[in-house]
Structure 1
Amino acid sequence: MKKVITIIIVIVVALGAIAYVLTNNKKKNEAKTAFIAEGGGAVAVRVATVEKKVVDLDFSANGNFIANQDLDFLSENAGRVSAVYVDEGATVRKGQVLARIDAEIINTDRETAEATYQNALKDEARYKSAFQTGGVTQQQLDQAVLATQNARLRLQASQRKVSDANIKSPINGVVNKRYIEVGAFVTAQGTRLFELVDVSKLKLKVNVNESQVANLKIGDRIDIKSSVFPNERFSGKVSFIAAKADETLNFPIEIEVFNNTNNSLKAGMYGTAIFNFPGQAPGILVPRTSFVGSVSSNQVFVFDGATKTSKLRKVVAGRILGESVEILDGLKEGEMVITSGQINLTDGSAVSVVN
């Protein structure tokens, strides 16, 4: 019995839903019929007056600051750390010694390379002297010269390793992390030594839409605000504009930001880019819905008040500015474009303007 009652309830609910949908569709059809009836036999349309307006292109975009340089400094030589001269938070300059690797083995290799090079020089001198008297062939002399060159290259490489025993900072920046201690052993395969971050300059990454990116170019000066420092003003310049939109149809851009003398801005903070553009000359704007089909069609219907008819007009569309479109050619200020009802129109159709 309960199952039968449940089935009846389900059927009643379904019939009620169907009745609601049919009633709602009937109301919509009646509204459309009433709209067309207002035209008195002509096609009922809505219109908008073509106006000249000043286009406000200013906008702002939020993003995150990232460090201009952020690198993990890796070891190049194997050895034991004999000294560490900086700690986390220390400000360092390019070329400053940060730590030192025990150079005993490295020095031994350099001394061996030096001795090999000196012997190669002596052998080359003897071969040259013997060649003058016919004691050796040209091939034997060439081999002696080649051996000298190879020995010199090995010596230079070993001297470089000795120099690299003093671990020097490759950039100006701050020691964000220190991964080594005195006595630790590092390998030549790249043990992490320090994380160095340069925040004297940062990059602010933001996304802009297609109408905004069209007005930007590399090198544009941009005002920057930080919510952490509301009373300070920072400046930057556009350093990168993506050539392709992302999956959200926005264009990533990067702004190079100059930090203040205290390096107050930190990587990871939020920032706002303020894009200000000089005053624009007034331009002709029409609603986006004026176009037949889409903006790319470059066709609109103009209402002819004298004959109460529609006239198909070819226009040249410019920028898309929200719900408005800039018209570069084809329309004059004061004309009236049809914004709805175009689907029922052809060139010369009788129309009736309704509110």
Structure 2
Amino acid sequence: MKKIIIPIVVVIAAIAVIGFILTNNKKKNQEKTAFIAEGGGAVAVRVANIEKKTVELDFSVNGTFIPKKELNFLSENAGRVKAIYVDEGSRVSKGQVLARIDAEIINTDRETAQATYQNALRDQERYQSSFTTGGVTQQQLDQAKLATQNAKLRLQASERRVSDANIKSPINGIVNKRYIEVGAFVTAQGTQLFEIVDVSKLKLKVSVNESQVANLKVGDKIDIKSSVFPNDNFKGAVTFIAAKADESLSFPVEIEVANNANSSLKAGMYGTAIFNFPKQAPSILIPRTSFVGSVSSNQVFVLDKANNTSKLRDVVSGRILGETVEILDGLKEGESVIISGQINLAEGTPVSIVK
């Protein structure tokens, strides 16, 4: 019995859905017919008066501070940690020794390389002397010189490893994390030692839309505010503008910000970038819906007030500013542009204005 009831219920539900869709479509068509009927036989349209307005380009946007420099410091030599000279929160300078790896084995390798190099030098001197008297060939002398050069390179590499036993900071900054303890064994494959961040300068990462990014360029000076320090003013400069929008159709922008003497700003805090632009001259702005098809068509319908008909007009569009578009040529103040109903219009079509 259940097998029979279920298909019946499904069919009834499908019929109900179809009936709802048909009823809804009928209602929409009636609304469109009523809208046109308002014009008494003419096409009912809405219009906007054309006038010059001052363009406001200023805007602000929120973002997150990140360090300008951030380094996860890895080991380059294998060995046991013999000493650590800094802790989390310590301020360090470039070249400062942070820790030391037990260099006993490394020193032994260097001494061996040093002895090998000295022997190679003595052998080369003997071969050079013998070559002068005809005791050895040029090939044998060249091999002795090559052996000396190889021994020198091995010595330089071992001296570098001895130097690397003193783990030094490659940047100025603050030790944000310490991953090792005295006695821990680190490998040459890259054991993580320290995380160092430099917050003397930070980057504020923000995203702007297409109309905003069109007015930005690298090097622009920007005012920065922080909600944590509302009384402090920070200055920044645009250092990066993405050439491609992200998935949300926004353009990532990076602003370099100089921290204050106390390094009050921390990476991860929120900040507000305030973009101020010179005052713009008034210009003609019309709604985006005025265009026939899309903004790229550069065509609109204007109202012929003498006989209430539509006139197709070619225009030159400029900047797209949100829901409005700047018109550089083709329209004059005092005219009226049709902003809805264009789908039913052609050149000279009688129209009726709906308020």
| TM exceeding 0.5 | yes
The CA deviation at 1:18 is 8.2
Counterpart position of 2:201 = 201
**Within-5 A mapping of 1:110-125:** 110-125=110-125
The CA deviation at 1:335 is 1.6
Which amino acid counterpart does residue 55 of structure 1 have in structure 2?
V
Counterpart position of 1:211 = 211
- Aligned partners of 2:148, 2:22: CA distance in 1, in Å? 98
> Which region of structure 1 is more displaced relative to structure 2, 178-187 or 95-104?
178-187
**Within-5 A mapping of 1:335-350:** 335-350=335-350
Aligned to 1:331, the other structure's residue is in SS state: coil
Distance 1:13 1:141, change over 3 A: closer
Which amino acid counterpart does residue 288 of structure 1 have in structure 2?
R
Aligned to 2:188, the other structure's residue is in SS state: coil
Aligned to 1:171, the other structure's residue is in SS state: coil
Which amino acid counterpart does residue 49 of structure 1 have in structure 2?
N
The CA deviation at 1:115 is 1.1
Counterpart position of 1:330 = 330
- Aligned partners of 2:120, 2:27: CA distance in 1, in Å? 103
Counterpart position of 2:249 = 249
- Aligned partners of 1:110, 1:275: CA distance in 2, in Å? 59
Which amino acid counterpart does residue 290 of structure 1 have in structure 2?
S
The CA deviation at 1:270 is 1.2
Unpaired runs of 5+ residues, structure 2, are 1-8
Distance 1:105 1:347, change over 3 A: same
The CA deviation at 1:36 is 2.0
Distance 1:108 1:24, change over 3 A: closer
Counterpart position of 1:183 = 183
- Aligned partners of 1:335, 1:143: CA distance in 2, in Å? 94
The CA deviation at 1:41 is 2.5
Counterpart position of 1:105 = 105
Which amino acid counterpart does residue 318 of structure 1 have in structure 2?
G
Counterpart position of 1:67 = 67
The CA deviation at 1:194 is 1.1
**Within-5 A mapping of 1:252-267:** 252-267=252-267
- Aligned partners of 1:180, 1:334: CA distance in 2, in Å? 76
Q: Deviations over 1:74-123 (max 9, x none)?
A: 11112222211111111000001111112221111111111111111111
Q: Deviations over 1:269-299 (max 9, x none)?
A: 1111111111111111111110001111111
Counterpart position of 1:304 = 304
The CA deviation at 1:26 is 5.5
- Aligned partners of 1:267, 1:248: CA distance in 2, in Å? 24
The CA deviation at 1:15 is 9.4
- Aligned partners of 2:249, 2:12: CA distance in 1, in Å? 47
- Aligned partners of 2:142, 2:216: CA distance in 1, in Å? 62
Counterpart position of 2:232 = 232
Counterpart position of 2:82 = 82
- Aligned partners of 1:229, 1:218: CA distance in 2, in Å? 26
The CA deviation at 1:40 is 2.9
Counterpart position of 2:142 = 142
Q: Deviations over 1:212-232 (max 9, x none)?
A: 111111111111111111111
Unpaired runs of 5+ residues, structure 1, are 1-8
Number of residue pairs the alignment of both structures matches: 355
Aligned to 1:232, the other structure's residue is in SS state: coil
- Aligned partners of 1:60, 1:179: CA distance in 2, in Å? 40
Aligned to 1:253, the other structure's residue is in SS state: strand
Aligned to 2:123, the other structure's residue is in SS state: helix
Which amino acid counterpart does residue 241 of structure 2 have in structure 1?
I
The CA deviation at 1:301 is 0.8
Q: Deviations over 1:9-36 (max 9, x none)?
A: 9999999988887776565444433332
Give TM-score, length-normalised by structure 2.
0.92
Counterpart position of 1:3 = none
- Aligned partners of 2:159, 2:259: CA distance in 1, in Å? 39
- Aligned partners of 1:214, 1:30: CA distance in 2, in Å? 43
Aligned to 2:230, the other structure's residue is in SS state: strand
Counterpart position of 1:48 = 48
Counterpart position of 2:5 = none
Provide the aligned C-alpha RMSD in A.
Answer: 2.7
Which amino acid counterpart does residue 277 of structure 1 have in structure 2?
F
Counterpart position of 2:291 = 291
Aligned to 1:119, the other structure's residue is in SS state: helix
Which amino acid counterpart does residue 66 of structure 2 have in structure 1?
I
| Pair 1:95 & 2:98 matched | no
